[in-house]
Chains A and B, each alone.
Chain A
Amino acid sequence: MSTVMSHDEHHGPAKGLSRWLFTTNHKDIGTLYLWFAFIMFMVGGAMAMVIRAELFQPGMQLVDPLFFNQMTTMHGLIMVFGAVMPAFVGLANWLVPMMIGAPDMALPRMNNWSFWILPFAGLMLISTMFMEGGGPAFGWTFYAPLSTTFAADSTDFFIFSVHLLGISSIMGAINIIATILNMRAPGMTLMKMPLFVWTWLITAFLLIAVMPVLAGAVTMMLTDRNFGTSFFDAAGGGDPVLFQHIFWFFGHPEVYIMILPAFGVVSHIIPTFARKKLFGYSSMVYAVAAIAFLSFIVWAHHMFTVGMPVAAELYYMYATVMIAVPTAVKVFNWTATMWKGSMTFETPMLWAIGFVFCFTIGGFTGLMLGVAPVDFQYHDTYFVVAHFHYVLLTGAVFAIIAAVYFWLPKWTGNMYDETLGKWHFWLSMISANVLFFPMHFSGLAGMPRRIPDYAVQFADFNMWSSIGGFVFGASQLIFLWVVIKSIRGGEKATDKVWEGAEGLEWTIPSPAPYHTFETPPEVK
């Protein structure tokens, strides 16, 4: 846990595989995280394709229901824990030290561990699908008693992999906090930090607060399953509703863990291409802090239909709707930044604007779902699926893709292919909306989620969704090709890359040298 700074200062990366296995370099580890996230994005995406293929037409066509359930469950788990979270940690690894003028992360050795736990945890999770009885099939929320009494034996492997994923996230979070609090360049006060750094600092605290609670929840599941306890079992005096409370105490902050860094990314990209300063820096910081605080006191809005007393429903409804205030502060901030700016629409800007547009749609459906009396109609329908894909796919994932396009020239030293990037954006933007917008309607009409078959009245909406899904899935191959192309060569990027770019990471050469800011820069 000591800081490695003095040795291996002036030589480049080691050769071959050992470079990646033993690396303590924040840029290498960032790259590893991002590739891991991309592979998981493809794996989880393939599962989504299975789901959309089965739902292309009513009736049972391709897979049996148990396998379908495994697909919905694993798709959710892999996208949340395998794709979105590692992608943001990868971005933090690459960017936080460069943005605050630090030579590396505060705890480089631990950084290596926190990455290398991930592939093993991910493999263990995926391996459950090849075990007897199949993998997790109880939804990504793994509610008891589905996950305790009625789940396959492989669930114990799932539990252990969640433990490992949690340990990895916590180590990553500790590292990020230590880096941000202890390693900023002289002169960089907290309120001078770039917003990506701010959002990650707050996200890291959220991770430390809730990942252990998730670990506790799966531990209780483990002892309920194997050691005769009855935390969630009414026969022994426990209560399955308790599971939902513990899960969502983790789960709600978790969804903000996945979106706050996205807010940070977009707050960098929009000012760059609008060639204006961010409309209100400090209001952004306070809004993020407010959202983080509110995330801890609204969890039961995920379980309005569980049979809560009216007073509790009212409380959770008001608290939830209150989140709209700081979120609106952010959305208005981005729009006001664009207002009368000298805007250009390079690929990262397109993704960022796509983010603002789609995330706002997801935010509004979130408000609808937060209203307790109407939630009784929407609960567990495709309306919910539409809502959280608008905030997670066209929200968090769009921001990750925007970030990759934005900083890729800095990482590889080469510009990406602008034409292909635009194709990637427009195909994804249109197909994602074809995919998810009809789900609002099928959900409002009553189509339940997580079911492999549906009434014929939903056939058209589902066919639209499936077509959108297939196009969206295929479009991501363009992304892969653009990234590979930029790694292999292309037009050389300047140090500043973008005309309107601001921040310490644009002061170093492109591609970023293996070691940067060994002498801290002076921030005025």
Chain B
Amino acid sequence: MAEQELNQANSRLVRRLLIATVAMFGFGFALVPLYNLMCDTLGLNGRFLDIEQGKYEVSSGPMAQVDNTRVITVEFLANVGRDTSSEFRPMVHKIQLHPGEIKEVSYFAKNLSTEGMIAQAVPSLAPGKAVKYFTKMECFCFNKQPFDAGEEKVMPLRFFVDPDLPKDVSTISIAYTFFDITKNEQVNTGRSELASAQPVLPRTSVSH
């Protein structure tokens, strides 16, 4: 190849490879929404789903027949997030119920700091395949919870387990992590949030 020709060929190739580099850098970030999409569509990772949007066919509502032939154990767990100065625990650790039966349990939370805080409980459910059959009618995790300094709260969780729950699931564990999001709330005020940084979990709908 003549020198000029070679120079042209090189710059053309370099340009293409640089575009590929930038595209792959973008792909790294695209993995974030892709990951969330995968988890939500496939119901992985114990994330909670938009059942009310009709993505899943859950055959029965709370009025459906209670399946007395099965007993499901539901375990309640609690974790306190880092830098969160609070007490947080379930009032009962374990209950047994029949699919279709509505139950209400409570979590206790207390702000141990001397300042007010806004808290958010983030749920995680295992096994993942039970996620779409665990329907919350009311949950403290639907909303951000404001606390005054030293304030205590007993917070309700009302739910039922859909009778379509796969036969091999007999125990469901639900874990809440209690985060102090006061700082995030301040940071996020007045600027557009990054798509990926948006809190996914505060859901106000009660049809969960």
Contacts and interface: CB of A to CB of B under 8 A. Distances in A.
B3 A6 contact: yes
Contacts of B20: 208-209
Dominant secondary structure at the B interface: helix
Contacts of B6: 3, 5, 106, 182-183
B179 A235 contact: yes
B28 A174 contact: no
Contacts of A210: 24
Contacts of B179: 234-235
Contacts of A174: 14, 17-18, 21
A217 B36 CA distance: 16
14 contacts: A106-B10, A177-B13, A178-B13, A210-B24, A211-B21, A211-B24, A213-B25, A215-B28, A220-B29, A234-B122, A237-B201, A242-B31, A242-B32, A309-B42
A149 B25 contact: no
B196 A246 contact: no
Contact of A246 (B31, B45, B82, B122): B31
Given A208-B21, A234-B81, 4 more contacts: A3-B6, A228-B184, A228-B187, A228-B188
Interface string A205-227: 00011111111110010000000
Contacts of B11: 1-2
Nearest to A306: B45
A236 interface: yes
Given A3-B7, A174-B17, A228-B187, A237 B181 contact: no
Interface in B8-53: 9-11, 13-14, 17-18, 20-22, 24-29, 31-32, 35-36, 39, 42, 44-45
A231 interface: yes
Contacts of A3: 3, 6-7, 10
Question: Closest 7 CB pairs between A and B?
Answer: A216-B28, A235-B179, A212-B25, A237-B200, A212-B24, A213-B28, A237-B199
Nearest to B184: A236
Interface centre among A6, A149, A208, A235 (most CB of B within 10 A): A235
B103 interface: no
Interface of A: 1-3, 5-6, 106-107, 149, 170, 173-174, 177-178, 181-183, 208-217, 220, 228-231, 234-239, 241-242, 245-246, 249, 307-309, 312
Contacts of B177: 234-235
B127 to A, nearest CB: 9
Interface in B110-131: 120, 122, 126, 128-129
Given A182-B10, A309-B128, A208 B122 contact: no
B194 interface: yes
Contact of B35 (A230, A245, A309): A245
B145 to A, nearest CB: 13
B197 interface: yes
A216 B10 contact: no
B24 A209 contact: yes
B69 interface: no
- Residue from A149, A170, A234 having most chain B Cβ neighbours under 10 A: A234
Contacts of A170: 21
B63 interface: no
A241 B28 CA distance: 14
B28 A178 contact: no
Nearest to A181: B13
B17 A2 contact: no
B192 interface: no
